[in-house]
Amino acid sequence: MTESGEGTQLELIQPTRRPRPRPVSGGEPVAEVDPVAAVLVDTGLAHLDRPFEYLVPAAMSDDVVAGARIKVRFAGQDLDGFVISRSAQAEHEGRLATIRRVVSPEPVLTPEVLAAARQVAQHYGGVVGDVLRLAVPPRHAAAEKALPVECPEVGDVPDLESPAWSRYAGGPAFLARVTSGDAPAASLLAAPSVDAEDDWPGLLADAAAAALAGGRGSILLVPDARDVARVEAALTARLGKGHHVRLTADQGPQARYTAYLKVLRGHVKVVVGTRAAGFAPVHDLGLIAWWDDGDDLHDEPRAPYPQVREVARIRASLHGAALLSAGFTRTAALAQWCAEGVAVPLEADRSLLRRTVARVRIAGEGSDLARDPAAARAHLPSSAWQVAKEALTRGPVLVQVPRRGYLPSLSCQECRRPARCRVCSGPLGLKGPGQPPTCRWCGAVETHFECPHCGSLRLRSSVVGARRTAEELGRAFPGVPVTTSGAGAVVDHVDSRPRLVISTPGAEPVAEGGFAACLLLDAWALLDRPSLDAGEECLRRWTNAVALTRGAGDGGVAVLAGGPTHTTVPAIEALVRWDPAWFAARELSERADLSLPPTARVATLTGPRQALQAAVGEMRLGASVRVLGPLPVAAETERLVLSAPLPQGPALAVEVAAMRARHSARKETSPVAARLDPRDPTS
């Protein structure tokens, strides 16, 4: 009514009342309250990546709660789904099917995890259902029944000081802000330490303790199960038992689901695990920290291929949580965060590093070259041999070899060209002593090698593997125990007694009291990798090995062998100076000049040439998006690279998602595989 008491025409408009939703088949009563459930059905199809409405039978009403697992009928099949919400009215005006059954009333999908999954899928142009398969572990009925709903009594968190964090400028202030409930973000360059109190697992545990002291939970993410075990030990030492759980894929179905339920039901507030643990439903999440950002184990190999760093950023933004990335090196992506003010760099004082970092020497430089002209190219230069001999009087010696196996790569003795398989042109190698050359691609045995370039019948080793290195060092140091650690037989720890430990990158064990010396062999084999992050990965692998060695103050020495001496290599310079911050900033600057990631968003499309052309032709790409390629990948398979400036990155993700939906709807026989933000666009 107006002030004069007269009615308006708008008051004559009555709201539209939708009829009560009707079931597909009559007879089954539906819930009286909120009879419509929005269900995210696990169809696996990109064009059906949205909630669908179903009726809630009256008998199931109490169990059909948001986040519960259910079974529904979809396209003639019984499919799994998650209940997203319930409502009184349906958006769909036709008849609705009813929910078939409730798999479990446990609300395993929380609204916070669902929101994160949606943002991750949107960022990578993927499907929400694919992200949820990574986020929520499969149900285990026995685990649900065995775990009490009520939270068990656990001991109080002790009041702890964090002396290790005081070694970093701004470290104590960061922890204080985490405890007070703020959301700071930091990129920590950890100082090496062979003391468990100051080593990196203790740094992560202290950060989790700071969040817990403020009543908030934490997620700590590390590359593999060995790192999980180290962080678990540090958490138990800091917090006591019962305050954390581990979430890893190798736990087994019941153990993993039990750990997930403990987090979901609020029994614990600290989670340590590998990449999928980034979605853990931690109550009052206040901190997400991850170790070694450059490790490729942080990259999910399943669609939509999310990376830990991006998952952590999304979850922190949704929860108002603190972010902490820690490592001995800093990736270009983290350097960009620091340059943009997204994260604050935390670094140790140079005087501390001079004591805690082993002294790094380069074989084949200076006086080494005068004494041994072949030292720069030798697999084991004399200077490295002398360092190992002296160090073995004081403790174990670590030898890092880039390649596993025996002789993984062979070449012609005369012309030095790579030896290739006559069947598939793959590289030839030796699996062991006395065995014939074998193709590493197809497995064909080469019984009569003849070089197609010069006709020579003789072969030589171009790359020496870990097993052959162990043989050579065993002969060079008779009576000294030799331990190998690599794929299939990884050693976690060794004692302080003298021994040689031959390891491939990433499989290095932890030595009691630290290694007396570290030899980094065949540096060229890592530097020659034709990938965008070759230098970054070299520095990461080398620093991770050197960090296991005693500091220069305790006589620790590291020798890098096989590096080029005719030019300056930034990764080697950064290792000698122990200046990963300088290297990361330099790497970021070079990539910015060339519009390479992380200063641009990149998507790769892989498939047959005609399918690629059709896919790109249907995408609405802006003028600023560069289309590079196609590049041959395999027989009848090529790859296109789409590069967009960062402001156009979200639009590129939208186009990738739309392309996937179109191909899914058409049931394409030659689909195009798409991936956003790959570690190396050419691989």
Nearest to 407 by CA among 428, 384, 378, 381: 428
277 against 526, higher pLDDT: 277
pLDDT above 90: residue 681 = no
Q: What is the pLDDT of residues 490-529, one digit of tens each?
A: 999 999 999 999 999 999 999 999 999 999 998 887 888 7
Pairwise pLDDT comparison (487 vs 378), residue with the higher score: 487
Confidence of residue 155 (pLDDT cuts 50, 70, 90): low
Contacts of 433 (CB under 8 A, 6+ apart): 406, 471
Residue 548 has pLDDT above 50, yes or no: yes
Residue 371 has pLDDT above 70, yes or no: no
User: Based on C-alpha coordinates, what's the Rg of the chain?
Assistant: 29
> Is it the case that residue 376 has pLDDT exceeding 60?
no
Q: What does the pLDDT look like over 392-416, one tens digit per residue?
A: 999 999 999 887 777 777 888 888 7
Model confidence at 366, pLDDT cuts 50, 70, 90, reads: low
Could you give the angle at which helices 128-135 and 111-123 cross, rounded to 10 degrees? Answer: 130
Cβ-count burial of 412 within 10 angstroms (0-12 exposed, 13-18 middle, 19+ buried)? buried
Quick one: pLDDT at residue 188?
A: 98
**In contact, 598 and 604? CB cutoff 8 Å:** no
Residue 78 has pLDDT above 50, yes or no: yes
CATH 3.30.70 fits 595-676, yes or no: yes
| 127-136, 198-207, 241-250, 364-373: least confident range | 364-373
pLDDT score of 274 more than 80: yes
User: Considering the chain, what percentage of its residues have pLDDT values greater than 90?
Assistant: 66
Residue 318: C-alpha distances to residues 73, 288, 313 (Å): 33, 12, 9
Predicted pLDDT of residue 431: 79
Architecture of domain 356-591: 3-Layer(aba) Sandwich (3.40)
- Taking CA atoms, 542 is separated from 24, 378, 535, 537, in Å, by 64, 18, 11, 9
Is the CA virtual torsion 218, 221, 224, 226 positive or negative?
negative
d(CA 200, CA 202): 5
460: pLDDT confidence band, cut at 50, 70 and 90? confident
pLDDT in the model for residue 2: 44
E-strand spans in 270-368? Answer: 270-273, 285-291, 322-327, 344-347, 359-362
Q: What is the pLDDT of residue 450?
A: 84
**What's the confidence (pLDDT) of residue 213?**
92
Residue 12 has pLDDT above 50, yes or no: no
391: pLDDT strictly greater than 50: yes
Q: Which one, of 477, 284, 303, lies nearest residue 388 by Cα?
A: 477
591-617 pLDDT, tens per residue? Answer: 999 999 999 999 999 999 999 999 999
Where in the sequence of the chain do the CATH 3.40.1440 domains occur? 19-107
Terminal Cα-to-Cα distance of the chain (whole angstroms) = 70
* Rounded (10°) angle between helices 534-546 and 580-594: 170
Q: At what angle are helices 225-239 and 200-213 packed, to 10 degrees?
A: 50
Query: Do the Cβ atoms of 49 and 124 come closer than 8 Å?
Result: no
User: May I ask the CATH architecture of the domain 19-107?
Assistant: 3-Layer(aba) Sandwich (3.40)
Overall residue count recorded for the chain in this entry: 683
- pLDDT bracket for residue 4 (50, 70, 90): very low
Residue 511 neighbours by CB under 8 Å, 6+ apart = 194, 395, 396, 398, 493, 494, 495, 496, 501, 548
Query: Hey, what amino acid is at 453?
Result: H
Tens of pLDDT, residues 23-58: 554 557 888 999 999 999 999 899 999 999 999 999
The span from the CA of 72 to the CA of 100, in Å, is 5
Percent of the chain with pLDDT over 70: 92
Q: Where are the alpha helices (DSSP H) in 214-307?
A: 225-239, 253-264
Average pLDDT, the chain: 89
In the chain, residues under CATH classification 3.40.50.300 are 165-352
Residue with tokens 């990738």: 656
The CATH fold of domain 165-352:
Rossmann fold (3.40.50)
Please state the rounded mean pLDDT for residues 173-179.
96
Burial class for 2, CB neighbours closer than 10 Å (0-12, 13-18, 19+): exposed
- Tally of CA atoms within 13 A in the half-sphere of 87 that contains its CB: 14
Give me the pLDDT at residue 383, please. Answer: 87
Higher pLDDT, 460 or 387: 387
- Predicted confidence band of residue 13 (pLDDT cuts 50, 70, 90): low
Residues 21 and 56: beta-carbon distance below 8 Å: no
CB 71 within 8 A of CB 99: yes
pLDDT band at 99 (very low <50, low <70, confident <90, very high): very high
Beta pairing partners, 38:
53, 85
- In contact, 244 and 255? CB cutoff 8 Å: no
